[in-house]
Structure 1
Amino acid sequence: MRAVITFLFLVLLTAGCTKVDNPELQTIFPKGEQGPEALFTGKAWNYGLLPADSTYTTLVGNVYFEPGARSNWHTHPAGQILIITDGVGYHQIKGQPRQTIRKGDVIKCPPNVLHWHGASPEVGLQQMYIVPNTEKGIVDWKEPVTDKEYHNN
């Protein structure tokens, strides 16, 4: 009986979750569209949740980074908030040490501050992003993060 209850609990717990390519990670959102190679090293998948509009002036979405994938350096005119929902990855503000980020972390990327984020080499990363005050702009993409920058800890 205990095994049946445990099984039913696990079924209810994972209902609505979608497995991604990395078996350790699950998300409640679809994988979305692959990000362009010009803006990401490796494969990153974006799923928009709330489009930018004049009422909420906030953009919200989910990104799944496959292991080793990362964004280019970039800035956000009004900043960005990241909510790490699964996996292990990195975040770095230019001129500061790279930080390891994990499920449950909340990262604030200040306005107009150069930074990047992505998955660790071994484990993918799921993150929700929130870009406020979109009337100021959304993102300014810069150069790719080099392998040396990515692996530097």
Structure 2
Amino acid sequence: MHITRQRPDTQPGPAENFTGAVWLDEIASPPPPSRLRMFSVHFAPGARTAWHRHPHGQVLHVTEGEGLVQRRGGEIEPIRAGDTVWIEPDEWHWHGAGPRTFMTHLAVVEAAADGATIEWDCHVGADTYPAMAGPAA
């Protein structure tokens, strides 16, 4: 057993992969043979990921606020504190805060045999991200 009492510093989400203010806190990255990776991701209102996919899928669990998630070709779905989202392996998607709300979620992925956890694509532009009239329904 290993108890982690000190965490790495919070890191800003890199502009090449995120729109808006996003902060990443690494929660777990155990040594091999484990391939688990877990982060707490904090999105300011309107902040979001670029389109991306994960080789073994991803679990998102919303811990605070309200946000949005969309798979390529699908509808934009509202998510809020308490919701858990399973994203299929290699499914292109994005997720982030609502236009006027903060959102925090835990993100859990499994690395592939080569260590890869994510493949990034283009940013989600204003043509896709909605300027909704109210908070996520």
For the aligned pair, the TM-score class normalised by the smaller chain equals 0.7 to 0.9
Contact 2:24/2:42 (<8 A) preserved: yes
Does residue 1:148 correspond to 2:124, yes or no? no
* Structure with greater Cα Rg: 1
Q: What TM-score does the superposition give when structure 1 sets the normalisation length?
A: 0.76
User: Is the partner of 1:55 in helix, strand or coil?
Assistant: coil
Contact 2:56/2:89 (<8 A) preserved: yes
CA distance in 2, matches of 1:130, 1:88: 19
User: Is the partner of 1:150 in helix, strand or coil?
Assistant: coil
Q: How does 1:65-76 map to 2 (within 5 A)?
A: 65-76=43-54
- Give the drift of 1:53: 3.3
- Give the drift of 1:55: 2.6
User: Is the partner of 1:149 in helix, strand or coil?
Assistant: coil
What residue in structure 2 maps to residue 22 of structure 1? none
Question: C-alpha root-mean-square deviation of aligned residues, in Å?
Answer: 2.0
User: Is the partner of 1:81 in helix, strand or coil?
Assistant: strand
Contact 1:73/1:141 (<8 A) preserved: yes
By percentage of residues, which structure has more helix? 1
CA distance in 2, matches of 1:135, 1:102: 33
- Give the drift of 1:75: 0.3
Dislocated runs of 4+, deviation >6 Å: none
- Give the drift of 1:57: 1.1
Q: Structure 2, unaligned stretches of length 5 or more?
A: 1-6, 133-137
Contact 1:52/1:59 (<8 A) preserved: yes
Contact 2:8/2:26 (<8 A) preserved: no
What residue in structure 1 maps to residue 65 of structure 2? 87
Q: How does 1:2-151 map to 2 (within 5 A)?
A: 32-51=10-29, 53-135=31-113, 137-151=116-130
Q: Structure 1, unaligned stretches of length 5 or more?
A: 1-28
In structure 2, relative to structure 1, the CA distance for the partners of 1:52 and 1:78 (3 Å cut) is farther
- 1:97-141 per-position Cα deviation (integer Å, ceiling 9, x unaligned): 000000000001110010000000110100001002443620000
CA distance in 2, matches of 1:122, 1:141: 25
Number of equivalences: 125
Q: What TM-score does the superposition give when structure 2 sets the normalisation length?
A: 0.85
Q: Which amino acid aligns with 1:63?
A: V
